[in-house]
Every structure is written in C-alpha cells, then in structure tokens.
Structure 1
C-alpha cells in the first residue's frame, strides 16, 4: 500500500508543463502566422501563471503543517492553474490542435495543463479542506484503543482525490507520443510517471481509510490471525510460520486474545482445503498439510485461507483474516516505538531484533518449545508497545508502509469487500502481475534443509534486457534474463543442530538446500535456462505463468547461479522487474527499462 510521494506531484507537474510551453513556443509556435501570434501570447501568459503556481506550490509544501496557511496557498495555486487551463483550451487553440505537426504538440500541452489543474483544484483541494480537522497524533492508541474518527473524517476526501488522480493520470498516459517532439514527448513521460506514482499513493490512502475502520471493529468485533514468518528458513512469501497470535478488535480497541506456535498444529493427513491441479503439480499437498508451509505458494490469498482453516480446526474459532509479518518488519516498528523489554530481561531493539530472533535464539535455547516461547514473547511485546501508543504515529505509519512495500507485511481478509480493496496492493501478496508498464518475474526461494541455515545464505537477483526495441507507441519487445546467485556464508565452526538440521532430512550438516520457483510474466516464452551444478529444472504452469523449479545444495563458502532468459512475443511493457522472497537485508525488487534508440 504505497503512500503518496514525500515530494508533492504538483511542483513537478507545473515545472514540466512550463518546460513544455518553453519548448513549444521556442521551436513550434513561432512558425505560424496570425493564429500563432494569438496562441503564442496566450501560451506565454499561461506559462506565467504556471510559473507563479509552481512558486506557490513550493510554499504549500513548506506550510503543510499549518492547514490554514496551506489552504490559502492551494487556493492561489488553483487560481493560476485555472487561468493556464483557460488560456490553453480556447477555440483558437483547440482549432490549431487539428493542424499537422504543430497540432499534436499543442494538444499534448493542453491535456497536461488540464491534468495539472485537475490535480490542483480537485484532487488537492478536498484533502486540504479536511486537513484542519485531521491530527496525525490522533492515530496514537490510547489505553489500547484507536480513535476511528479521523479515518471516517478523511474517507470521502481521500476517495474523491484518488478518483481525480485516476482520471488525470489516464488523460496523460493515453497521449499519443509518436508525433511529439522530443521535449514534449519527454515531458509527457515524466508527468505520466509522476501522476502514476501519486495516483497509486492516493489510492492506497483511500483504501486504507475505507478498510481500517471495519478491520478495527467499527461494525462489530473482529479477530485476525497473525503469522510470524521466520526468514531463517525460507518460504516463498518470507519464511516458515513460527509463532502465531490472535488479535481481537472492537470499536478501535485492540487486544491479544491468544498465542501459540507452529508446534501446536499437527501434520494433517491431506490438505485442509482443496488445492487446484496447477498448485498440486508444482507444490504438492505440503502447503495445505503443515502450518509451517502455508506461505510456500506465492499467493497470500491461498496462504490466508489455509491458515484460517487450520486455526479453526485446532481452536474452533473462525478468524476474519490473516496477517503475516517477519522480524525485519518488527525491527521497523521498533524504530518507531523504541526498545521493548522481554520477560527474559532481554531488550529488543531495532538494531538487534533480526539477529536475536533469527539466529542467536538457537544458540541460547536447544528446545524448540522454548524458542517458540521467545518468539511469541517478542511478538507480544512489540504488539503491546504499538497498542499502548508508544512511539510517533507518523513513524509507525512509515514503518508499516516500508514493510508493505518490501512484501514483509501481508494481509488476507475473509470479507469479500475488504479483499477486493486489497487485491491490487503489495499487502495482498499475490502472484506477480504484468501490466502495460511493467512485466514482472517472480523469484521465490524455499528452504529444503529443514533447518535455519538461510540466515547464512544470500541470494542476489539481477534482471536486464538482452535485446529490446521500442516502437513508436513506447512498447518494448525483446528478450530479458533473470539471474539468481546463491551463496552459503555459514562459518566452518560447528553450529547447533537446530540451525543445520543435524542431517535429519537427508542433507549433510552444514549444507544449505534451496528449492526455487521462478515465474515468468504472463504471455512470455522461455528461451533458455541454465543452472550451475549437475542438476536440472522442473516446472509447470500457474495461473497463466510458466514456472521453472530448481534445487541447489551449497556447502559452506560455496556459490551457484541460475540464469533464465525469456521473450515477450508481442510489444508490451518497457520495464521488466523481478519480485523475490523477502530476505534479511536484501532488496525484494530489481528492475530494468528498455532504452529508446
């Protein structure tokens, strides 16, 4: 659920529009006669208004902490952008848009100016109007209860802002760039990118204000199952499920109603819910038989439904949704709340949480039940700090946003309306989706050792176009290669059996076995696949995506790589991206864009 960018889109959009006017006036408009003079005069006047608006926008950015001042400034911005809009949409200007060569330039300028005015006057204004009644500090829980009023107050304004940004973005992104001069074409691209990012952020805010009241019990009590993923033993969406907890919400009040661990769940004889044939062909029944494996399939809608069913079988309680976090996400929260003290006397901090929870605990406790108790205590302490209102609310929102962007915070709702709002966000944890802008690969890694060796394994993912061409419409066609390089950095010194697996699953002590699932974008064709070592690939198809599976064993200090090349048969997205399993201290996304010739 990506937030709006920290730098407002308006100053950038105005600057881009100003550059467009300068380029058009300097290289195009002066070539016409009477109409050109009229258009030129109006263009210069519009440029002046846009420049004034840009200056005012900078002031608005600096005064956002003072809603009254910001509201006055935004009103001035709206007046200037409205004047620029009027100057570039009159009948003579519109008539000139039908001319060859110069017409598309003018039409593009007009479209962008209208979009900028819509952002200033209709997307920003409703948000500014409610800013005076919204206090970020009101998001701080008091006595374990969060006031839901601020969410409902901003709900309508957030929805209206998001809708306007969708329309403004669509208007700019659908401009035909083929006939445009380079400065105009580049300006369209820049503004399109800015508006797209801001549209997504505004949509996230709108979804949050629509979702959170119901999730927090505004319409009646709810219960959510929290899965604590352990990145020291990889699963596609993060790690095995270790500790679990039930979180109860009621009219904004939050409480921890139950806790447990993976050891409380049996090995089921068969999958607790039916799995479709494609999933069974790639993953077998393991995701549906073990709570530790519910995040093995890289689709959290499947994971959530499986975990819900397992919890109901063991407790008789049907939860309203499932949330997953990992220790890295907890470390982000601890940056906001500050250190917490555990029942053991340990101080859990943002700096030590990951190492303590994913490695040091196994040196301290040999009995798995004691390890699970330590995890549960850590999760409970961080939850209580958040529920008690410790830390700065803005910092907490930033921490949650960062965790969501890195796919370390996942959410599935059993309520269809809520799930539909989540579906297109990073929180949903769905399969990689290819759209007009980006073709997405998936690189999902799983432990095959039955141990916690992945604390010592690094996985470097790269992606790049090998060959590509961009057509006049801006669509790309070619071949791209994704590579994954695994390295076992474990020390030669003896490690506890619980970390190495002790050879209990047929893997030599000290060896890290990784099982990988590499997803191609929808519609892409496999060209080549290579892997180090005397091993090969398996595979299948999952929801329209070709999937390659592989298995690698690495001893201490060893390294191996996988290379997969695929081709898009039809012109499509210029950007390729690889989304991978969230790991310790490594990025979850890498991208490459096909350059224009």
Structure 2
C-alpha cells in the first residue's frame, strides 16, 4: 500500500483498538470527547497477549542467531590456515571462545596497536558525552525548565510517526534543549538514548581510555628526554647571555629549538590531538606536554632573534644602523614571545609536580613582563635611531641641570651645549665656557620673571626658563629663550642631571684632565666640578664652565665607541634615568614627541581621573643644599559617606648638611608648589616661612609680563591665614608657599584640602540584570567606593619616602587594591614606598549596607 493510500489509525475510547471510521476520538476524562490529531501516541497503551508472544518469539530468534554465530566461529577456527600473526586484524582471535570474547579482544588490540586508535576513542567519548549532555544531562539549578504535568497522551513529532519523512531542523531543535532530569531516567526515546550513552561509556572507558593512556605513556619517555635536553639548552643560553656571550647563547638557543622540535615530532599528530582533548581521560600531567613544548620552542626562537640583534651591537656600522638592526631583531622576536606566553598560560599548575610549580608560576608572571620589555626596547631603539639622525641631521639644545640646586625640571641650568648629529655621529659640539650666563648680554626679550624668582632676579632669563615642572612647557620656553639670545632653531631639547653624568662616567671610566690636574670619576665628579666652577676658575678669563666643555667631548667619544657590554650598560642607565627623570627629551616634531611621550620620556604632567599629587621644589638662593635634603610625604585621605574626600598632606624636610660646610652648609630656601586635582579647595595650611618682603627685587622699566604668567597672576587667590597662593595651571590646582630649613633642622609643612566632586566615587551595587546574577555568586550588594591616586616624582629630587593612607567610611573593606595595603591601629589602610618614579595607587572598598 502506497503512502497516499494509507489512512491514519484512530484511537477509540477503549484505548488501543484502532478504527478507520474517519473520526478520531480520544477520551481524556470521563464524559468528554475531543477530536484528536493523527499524530498522537497513547503512552498508557495496554499490550495484548498476542503482541507479548510476538516479542518473546523475536528474543528467542536472537538467541538462536547468537548460538549459530558461536558454532560458525568454532567452525572457522578449525578450518582457518595460519600464515602469520595479523595483530588486531586477526579475527577471530585464537584465544576467544565466544563471539563476545572475540569482539572484545579484537577491540582491545585495535586500541593498543592501531595508530589512530587513541583519536578514535576520544572522538567516541566526546560524542557520547555531548549526546548525554545535550539530550539528557545538565548541571542542576541552571536554566531549569519545569516538567509539565503528566498527561495521558503527548503529541509526538511528525517524523517519529511518519518514518518515510526525514526530520527538519525546526523539529530537531526543541529536542536538543537541555532538561534538568536529575538521576531519573526519562521515558520514551530520551530514555533509550540515555541508556545508549551509559552503555557506550561503560564499553569505551575500560577498552579505549586505558588503551589511550597506555599509548600516551609509551609516548612520554622520548618526549620527556628531548624536552629535558631542550630545557638544559635554554639554561645554557641564559647563562651565556648573562655573560654577554651572545654567540654562545645563540648556539644554545638553536640547540634548544631542535630538541623541542624533536620532542613535538615524537609526540606526533595523534599525541598532540590526544593531549588537546586530555580532559576526557586521566592524563593531566601528559596533557600539559604540548603547550609546554610549544612554549620552549617559541622561547628558543625568540632567544635566537634577541641574541642575533644584540650580537650586531659589536659591528663597526654607524650607531643608528646598529640601533635599527637591534630594533628589527627585537621586533622579530615578539611573535615568538607572545606565543610562548600564551602556551605557558594554558599550562595548569596542577599538572606540574609540586616542587616545580613555583617555576611555572614565575614564568606565568614574568613572561608578559619580558615581552613588554622587549617591545619597549624595540620602540626605544627605533626612536633613538630617528632622533640621532638616521634619516636626516638633527640639532639639539642639551641643558645640564645641577640637582644640588633643585629647580622644577631637575636643577639649575648652569651649562648647556649645542649638538649637531648625523647618523649617530657628532658633527658639532659647542659648550660655552661661561655657561648659561653667556647668553645674558644677547637676550633681546625683556620679560619679568615669575614672582618667587624676584628674590634673586626680577628679569626672566635663559638659566631660569625651566620654571614649569611640565618639561614640554619648559623645554619649549628654553628653545624660545635660546633663539631670542641669537641662537639657531633646534629640533629638540635634552635635559640631563648631575646624577646622570656621575653614573655615565661610572660606565665610560675615569677622565684624565692634566690641564686641570684632576682625574674625574663617578665618585668625585660633582665635588670637583663644583669646586672648580665656584672657586678655582680663572677670574680674569671668567669661563667657570670650561671644565665641562673640555670633559664633554671625551665622554661622548667613549659613549659612541663603547663595546657591546658598555652599550648594554648604557641602555640600562638610559632606561632607569628616563624613569626617574634624570634624562628627559622634548622634540619639536609632533610625531617624535608623541612617541617619546608614550615611552615616558617627556616629563610631562599626567592627567588623572581621581586624586593627584605632584610636589615640586624650587631652590631660590639656597645654594647647593638639595643633595643633603631628605623628604618624606604623608598623604592621608578621609572619605565620607557622601563621597566627599578630605586630604591632609604632611611634608617633612630634614637638612643633613653641617653649618659652614662648603656649598651645603647654608639654609635651604625652597619655594614649594603642590599640584592637586583641578577644583580642589584649600581648607588649612601651616608650617610655611616666607622670606622677608624686603628681600625681593623689582624689575627695571621696560620689562613686561609673560602672557601665561599674567593670566596666572590675575586669577591667583591667597589663603588669608597662611599666605598660600592658589592658582590653576596645566589642568591642575596649585598651592604655593615657602619652606626654609637650616642645617641640622627639620621643617614640617601641612596642607588640608578637599578634593573636587567626582574624584572619589561611591555607588550602589545594582540588584538588576547581570549585576544581580554576579551578586548571587559573589554574595555582594550594598555599595562600593573607588579611589585612585597618581603621584609624580620631581626630576632631580632625592627619592622621597611616601605613605599614602585611605580612611574609608565605617563598614567598608577593601576588595581590590593595586598595591599591598596594611591596616594601622586607627583603621586606615596604608601603602608605603620610596618614590623612585611616578606611582599609581588604587583601591576599591565594599560595604554590604
């Protein structure tokens, strides 16, 4: 009978006897009938005696077939001629007695001998578990769908009642949705599938999983051997690199790469696939082999590129060519280091023996840092190559800042140089013997100096042009003053401090100056040069800075001719000096300036979304006393429940000079400026001692006020009780006042001010949407406080001690912090450090109320 000729069976009221009367009637409850679909199945259908007998007959037939197969198997064993062992292909195995034994033995041999057996078992396992998950199982309590009340009949999918029609995607999709069933076996076809899944697991796990484990163990020995050799070569490469023997390091890296490649080859495609899916079987230590081998191989490849670049530092090529070669090799190592970082991230600590887990954790922490350092090194090398004339000649104004007489950008500008460079070679070096004072007679501009400088000079000149702590602002002003004094336009300004020169001479070696009867080294550089420029110079010639002019070319020549080790030491010195601002750059070219700013070379005032602090000292008539000054900063933040934040800033300055001692045995006179978030309100100030008004000089007629200074003066407010001046500058609010400290004494100055709205955020934790789900897991609610503090260090200043404390409202406790915080006996959370460079402190606190 064709499909079109068939008529759907109907269920009658006696539940189970179909009729073909054209009307289907199904009794759902007594006394009520309704039309029924042809696709309704009766789950409570009674099985007749005839049907039960037919089922028993089919079972007996299956047993007879199994017996026939057993007899046939015995007959085949008797008649088979043995030629040679065929392994798992030899069916039936001689030792089998029943068909079940034959199949089982053959399957076991297949998993032990076939090269793709391991992959097969994992594929079957994966399919089985996916089926079990998608069709029957799911984690309890997540996306739970309520089971409908049990009904006497259910609508079956059409493709189940019509075997000639294949199912559509729309019909299959609802069947694949997970349903929470616990351990109850579901009825119908879902129960059959779950039963199949359970049987498949029981069959596959004993046969396949342990067979796979055995295969992996056979792989382990040669893999471990090659991997161990690779690790030893990495250790050898690292030792050679520390000795700066980069040729030996490169050979060791290449040997390590070969060993790791051999280990991966031993592992093979099957092993790698197994290890990728190793979570399905108990081989977690082996499952980490693949990413660990990948990490080792990529580290070796990155090391080859690194050492190749460092080895080129020994060439006789032009300095800018060597820098660009170094940048190229460093850049080429980055993809390998990134790949190694990712591979190490994938290694589970639990898969590593406990004795070696600390090494793995160290690698997880240090590899990203190493990669960032290499990336930064590549950028620095390329920028230096461009800055030193790789593409075109450059001309720079170099200023020497004496950090013993502290000024906003690092120190008093006693000397300067005009330097022309091309392809990294010095074409011209001009250092006036009279220093910065040589420009006074040729300065055309007549500007009134900033008010505090009137203590020594009411006229603004080149040596005092670094008045702003924002180095780009001061550098631009210095270039302008130099041009106004008859100098040429420059491509940039480079500022170096006395401390930088001391450390540089420590690398290049002592300098013999027989005409001065001196040998200058790192230890006596400051004292010998200061003594000559202040006391010993020829008063008739009046060239006190000539010793700097005679010494500088020797230092530069040694820098340019340095060997590989010397260059590496200088690169490290440059990096540290850029961090603590003993070395700063400003470029007239906007592109170079942007790159330098991204590397942190430019010494600019940084923007901050939260709290901000920059303490700036200016030594005015305090001689060379700042090297013997010790400072500590205590920054206390009190946060109120309404997010108002009150800051108490305490600055302690100790003068360790001895009265009457040359250069440092006098009073330190400091004009103090404190830069804080714009809009901060000064509440109180104490501990300030301004000089007598009679000591300030007045400018001569004809001098005018700089426009920027004029705007600041017009908007400046004065705190009545302390005389503290308050103005806005570079997007910050500034508090300015005087602190004077005698030798052997200690000065303490205090500022109390309120941060502007928005500097501290207090917000309620939402109870809706995603936040509600997160709170359910974290058991959080209530409100949280977010606070951050950016502290900038002044260039040239001795690193001060910093204690930053945060006092949260009652009931708040830190849940995240950028640094380790300790709680004191007053309940405040404190962070302590020595401020070697700019620092960021962040903390978030939570209250359940």
Which of 836, 841, 846 is matched with 1:589 structurally? 836
Q: Aligned partners of 1:117, 1:310: CA distance in 2, in Å?
A: 56
2:403 matches 1:228: no
Q: 2:671 aligns with which of 506, 511, 515?
A: 515
Q: Is the 1:516–1:551 Cα contact (8 Å) retained in structure 2?
A: yes
Q: 1:592 to 1:420 in 2, by over 3 A?
A: closer
Please name the residue that 1:135 is paired with. 312
Residue in 2 that maps onto 1:71: 253
TM-score by length of 1: 0.67
Task: Assess if the C-alpha contact under 8 Å between 1:236 and 1:298 holds in 2.
Answer: yes
Pick from 276, 299, 304: which aligns with 1:120?
299
- The equivalences for 1:315-354 within 5 A come to 315-342=486-513, 343-354=515-526
Aligned residue in 1 for 2:581: 407
Q: Equivalents in 1 of 2:209, 2:584: separation in Å?
A: 56
Of 559, 569, 572, which residue of structure 1 is paired with 2:761?
A: 569
**What is the distance in 1 between the residues matched to 2:646 and 2:525?**
41
Residue 304 of structure 1: aligned partner: 475
The aligned counterpart of 1:148 is 320
Moved more, 579-588 or 413-422: 579-588
Would the aligned equivalents of 1:464 and 1:576 in 2 still touch at CA under 8 Å? Answer: no
Contact kept, 8 Å, 2:410 with 2:795, in 1: the verdict is: yes
Matched residues, number: 514
- Inter-partner Cα distance in structure 2 for 1:193 and 1:528: 44
Cα drift, residue 165 of structure 1: 6.2
The alpha-carbon distance between structure 1 residues 323 and 251, as it changes in their structure 2 partners (threshold 3 A), is same
Residues 461 and 447 from structure 1, CA distance in 2 versus in 1: closer, same or farther, beyond 3 angstroms?
same
**Distance change >3 Å, CA 249–CA 137, structure 1 → 2:** same
Higher mean C-alpha deviation, range 148-157 or range 407-416 = 148-157
1:549 is aligned to 2:728:
no
Consecutive unaligned residues in structure 2, runs of 5 or more: 1-201, 281-287, 346-357, 690-721, 763-784, 801-833
Could you report, residue by residue, the CA deviation over 1:39-91 in whole angstroms, capped at 9, with x for unpaired residues?
9x99998999988865553233123321442331452586499899x999979
Looking at structure 1, the residues matched to 738 and 418 of structure 2 have their Cα atoms a distance apart, in angstroms, of: 35
Distance 2:521 2:231 in 1: 43
SS in 1 for 2:495: strand
What is the distance in 1 between the residues matched to 2:459 and 2:416? 17
Distance in 2 between the 1:576 and 1:187 partners? Answer: 33
Offset of residue 454 of structure 1 = 2.6
Cα drift, residue 336 of structure 1: 1.3
Residues 363 and 581 (structure 1 numbering): CA distance in 2 closer, same or farther, change over 3 Å?
A: same
Pick from 276, 279, 294 the counterpart of residue 465 of structure 2.
Answer: 294
Q: In 2 relative to 1, CA 449–151 (structure 1 residues): closer, same or farther, beyond 3 Å?
A: same
> CA 1:373–1:129 in 2, change beyond 3 Å: closer, same or farther?
closer
SS class of match (1:519): strand
Structure with the bigger RCO (C-alpha within 8 Å, sep 6+) is 1
TM-score using structure 2 length: 0.49
1:271 to 1:431, Cα distance in 2 relative to 1, 3 A: farther
**1:58 partnered with 2:235:** yes
The answer to whether the 8 Å contact 1:81/1:117 transfers is: no
Q: CA deviation at 1:360?
A: 6.8
Contact 2:398 2:418 in 1 (8 A): yes
Deviation at 1:307, TM superposition (A): 1.9
Do residues 558 (structure 1) and 745 (structure 2) align?
Answer: yes
- The aligned counterpart of 1:257 is 429
- Structure 1 position 130, deviation (Å): 4.5
Residue matched to 1:209: 381
1:420 deviation in Å? 2.1
After superposition, residues 422-461 of structure 1 pair within 5 angstroms as 422-432=596-606, 441-449=613-621, 451-461=623-633
Give secondary structure in 1 for the equivalent of 2:403: strand
Asked if structure 1 preserves the Cα contact closer than 8 Å seen for 2:466 and 2:478, the reply is no
1:554–1:322: structure 2 CA closer, same or farther, 3 Å change rule? same
Q: Distance in 2 between matches of 1:466 and 1:187?
A: 41
5+ long unaligned stretches in structure 1: 1-32, 98-108, 140-144, 174-185, 273-279, 469-476, 501-509
1:228 deviation in Å?
Answer: 0.3
**CA–CA distance in structure 2, aligned partners of residues 466 and 77 of structure 1:** 59
Query: Is this contact kept in 2: 1:287–1:294, CA < 8 A?
Result: no
Once the two structures are superposed, the pairs formed by residues 278-293 of structure 1 within 5 Å of their partners are 289-293=460-464
